Amino acid sequence: MRSSLLPAAAIFAISAAYSQAPIVHSKAGIFHGRHLPTFDQDVFLGIKYAPKPERFTPAKLKEDAPYTHFNASQYGVDCTGYGSDTNTLVSQGLTILGEDCLHLNIIRPREKATNEALPILLWIYGGGWQQGATSDPSRYNLSYIVDQSVQNNKPVIGISINYRMAAFGFLYGEEVKATGNQNLGLRDQRTALKWVNKHISAFGGDPTKVTIWGESAGAYSVGDHINAYDGKAEGLFRAAILESGGAVGPPLNGTDWYQHMYDNLTESVGCGGANDTLQCMREVPYETIAPYGSVGLEWFHVIDGSFVPRYGQESLVQSKFAKIPIILGTNTDEGFGVNGVNTDKQAIEQLTYSKRWNVNTEEAEKLLELYPNDPTVGAPYGWGNRTWPQNGLQYKRYTSIATDITMFAPRRLLAERMSDYVDKVYSYRWDAPKFNNTPATIGVNHFSEIPFVFGNTEPTLTLLGDSAENIALSHLVGRMWASFAYDLDPNGHGVEGIVDWPQYGESTSNFVFRKDQSYVEKDDDREEGVAYINSIVR
């Protein structure tokens, strides 16, 4: 059973079943949540921030219903996604996919939320804008990080939001451009932020103290919110945390790239011959269009002149972004290279072929000059002369370039530009692998930090297990994130023996997270190559 409107009789049934079940009265409605005694937390799940959206049309903020009762004790439907993560959740019966999916979840510490208005830590999941779900129990359970905030006496409320993905959220082509319906997934997120701003005070939250937080495509979404409308945050957030993503990239391609994908989709669902193909696709049954909503990992954000006003690099250089405190960082070996690159010619072809990197042949040649085919300086880093020829003779070189284009260089550019206006900018490098290195998982790759940040210690669901050093690092980073949301200072974590994390503008440094001993380093790795990447308009 999923979150739904409650008939009157069911209200009393819930009261009987959950003697401690929390009830919140708000302009949005009367929400019957669930109490988690292990954490002494109240959770309100599957709250609709928007009614079921018309397909390929912007969502609308849900109207107030102050006298209507809602069951908020279970997760709602998740938005349609494509990929192994989504397939696993569906096959295990952990989620249901559909279009009526614009929900959010609220996790609050019971005692603290009744005594003071708490800051908000609002999570936007990643997944390449192709997959992801707030109901994912193994990775995005906010109870543990909220619990760490309470133990550190800096309590916060955790919120997670769903948004439309793949073609449902990022469809593009001339027909979409003509109607102004681009970037619907990002607009969904903005609508959720407006719901939080309007209603979170009823749940014990402070709408003026919202920190938006994401990883990968979730972090790029955060970057888009920072750049949106030339930096107008609209009072919806005061700070941000960006894990492995930023305000530049992924690629912002035009209709020349997307039109064939749009045309293929219309043909696949029987709308190729329609006078209005977009309207035709709105009207076909969900079951008809759902199997075709993904074309690889290619439905990304696009320049629309407003939410994504221009290339991210231009917004940063022109100072047209929200000036707010931020934490941002990348993992040591993010990756995103491809296997099978053996020659310079193949490297240039890969860099220019898919338009994912937004570099031309001249720029690709310059990158090869700045990133020599020397395994001692390639990624994964710290492995000396070791190579993996089965992955390509230029595997380490190409992976280093891909890591910097995708994650590392945009992180440095945003840190530098934000520090020109804001003191509280904190940069990090994550250098703790999520599990023992094997040939299939070389280095500290993408997503390595997530098990630590969320801190789920349930052994059947997480890679943290019962390792004391894993749990200690998890407590540190979780408290840092929550402390930053609480008072904009990650150093108020209460863990002894940890070096202070300096502001980026004062030191140009990264805090390096490690299992043995975290430390601070100068942020000057691959200085010339990163500077060149950051000079490219993309």
Among 196, 227, 252, which Cα is nearest to 50's?
196
Q: Which two structure tokens, joined as six digits, stand for 289?
A: 């269009």
Number of domains in the chain: 1
pLDDT tier at 439, thresholds 50, 70, 90: very low
- Start-to-end CA span in the chain (Å): 45
* pLDDT on residue 465: 72
The predicted model gives 337-342 an average pLDDT of 89
Q: Which two structure tokens, joined as six digits, stand for 20?
A: 């401690």
b/e burial code for range 136-152 (CB count within 10 A of at least 16 → b):
bbbbbbbbbbbbbbbeb
Q: Where are the alpha helices (DSSP H) in 269-406?
A: 277-283, 286-289, 312-317, 344-353, 361-370, 395-403
* pLDDT on residue 40: 97
pLDDT tier at 521, thresholds 50, 70, 90: very high
Residue 3 has pLDDT above 60, yes or no: no
* pLDDT on residue 15: 42
* pLDDT on residue 112: 79
- pLDDT per position as a tens digit, 80-101: 999 999 999 999 999 999 999 9
Distances (CA, A) of 377 to 380, 400, 443: 9, 8, 14
Stronger pLDDT, 14 or 502, i.e. the higher one: 502
Query: 3-state SS of 447-491?
Result: CCCHHHHHCCCCCCCCCCCCCHHHHHHHHHHHHHHHHHHHHCCCC
User: What one-letter code names the amino acid at 411?
Assistant: R
Specify the 3-state DSSP secondary structure of 202.
Answer: helix
Q: Cα dihedral angle (188, 194, 196, 199), rounded to 10 degrees?
A: -130
Query: Bridge partners of 43?
Result: 34, 107
Positions marked active-site = 216, 334, 446
* pLDDT on residue 296: 66
Among 25, 29, 33, which Cα is nearest to 51's?
29
pLDDT tier at 336, thresholds 50, 70, 90: confident
In the block, residue with structure tokens 């996919």:
97
Residues 6+ apart with CB under 8 A from 153: 494
Q: Which two structure tokens, joined as six digits, stand for 275?
A: 């006078």
* pLDDT on residue 338: 83
- pLDDT per position as a tens digit, 189-240: 999 999 999 999 999 999 999 999 999 999 999 999 999 999 999 999 999 9
Query: 3-state SS of 349-364?
Result: HHHHHCCCCCCCHHHH
CATH of the domain at 499: 3.40.50.1820
Cβ atoms within 10 Å, residue 402:
23
- pLDDT per position as a tens digit, 377-412: 989 998 899 999 999 999 999 999 999 999 999 999
* pLDDT on residue 441: 59
Distances (CA, A) of 158 to 205, 208, 244, 366: 10, 15, 20, 44
CA distance 486 to 112: 13
Residue 209 structural domain: 4-535
CA distance 421 to 325: 9
* pLDDT on residue 226: 99
Stronger pLDDT, 219 or 296, i.e. the higher one: 219
* pLDDT on residue 297: 65
pTM: 0.95
Rounded percentage of the chain residues whose pLDDT exceeds 70: 94
Mean pLDDT score of the chain: 93
The predicted model gives 515-524 an average pLDDT of 97
* pLDDT on residue 308: 98
CA distance 515 to 512: 10
- pLDDT per position as a tens digit, 95-140: 999 999 999 999 999 987 778 899 999 999 999 999 999 998 878 9
